[in-house]
Amino acid sequence: MHKDTKKMMHLTLFLALNIILHFFDPGLNFFGAKLGIANIVGIVILKWYGPKDMLVNNLLRVLLTSLMRGTLFNTPFFTSLSGVILSTVAVIIVNYLLDPSIVMLSVVSSIFHPIGQIFIISSLYSTSQIYILLPLLLILSILAGVATGKLTEEILRRMRRTQ
């Protein structure tokens, strides 16, 4: 199989997995907090294919899941989009500037995602009261980031072994 075709096939499968994980991500029942298991796919793509492919995959996930849920260009779309853009850019910058562990990348992503969401909600509804949730969301984000980071490490280890 041609190298570009194989890469496109892998990225398409990763996108499908990203969408499925996003749909079935269990909520934690704390102000909409989630584990962020779709974050695993983004970090795997970053490590295997690079930052551009991670960004494209994450953006396509938000677009396609919003389209499937019927929330395209509604508040959930914009909150998801702002969270994924900020967290993806933060992860790419940290990955470029440092030699971070997978867990660190996952925690960075988990921290910046709700920051982006809170910012856009504050902007859309012209209220700063939403920022009161940020400390709790950041604590939950760190815990979720460590958990998904550990899982991502194991997935990458197994993927390297089967390569």
- pLDDT for 31 equals 65
- pLDDT for 24 equals 82
Burial (CB < 10 A; 0-12, 13-18, 19+), residue 100, is middle
CATH number where 150 lies: 1.10.1760.20
Q: Quote the domain boundaries for residue 126.
A: 3-162
Cα 124 from Cα 31, distance rounded (Å): 18
Cα 134 from Cα 152, distance rounded (Å): 25
| Residue 28 confidence class, pLDDT cut points 50, 70, 90 | low
pTM of the predicted model, to two decimals? 0.90
Does the structure show a pLDDT above 90 at 36?
no
Burial (CB < 10 A; 0-12, 13-18, 19+), residue 18, is buried
For residue 34, give the nearest of 133, 128, 126, 141 by alpha carbon: 141
Q: What's the average model confidence in pLDDT over 73-93?
A: 95
In the structure encoding, which two tokens stand for residue 67, read together?
Answer: 């389209």
Does the structure show a pLDDT above 90 at 16?
yes
Does the structure show a pLDDT above 70 at 110?
yes
- pLDDT for 22 equals 84
What total number of domains does the chain contain?
1
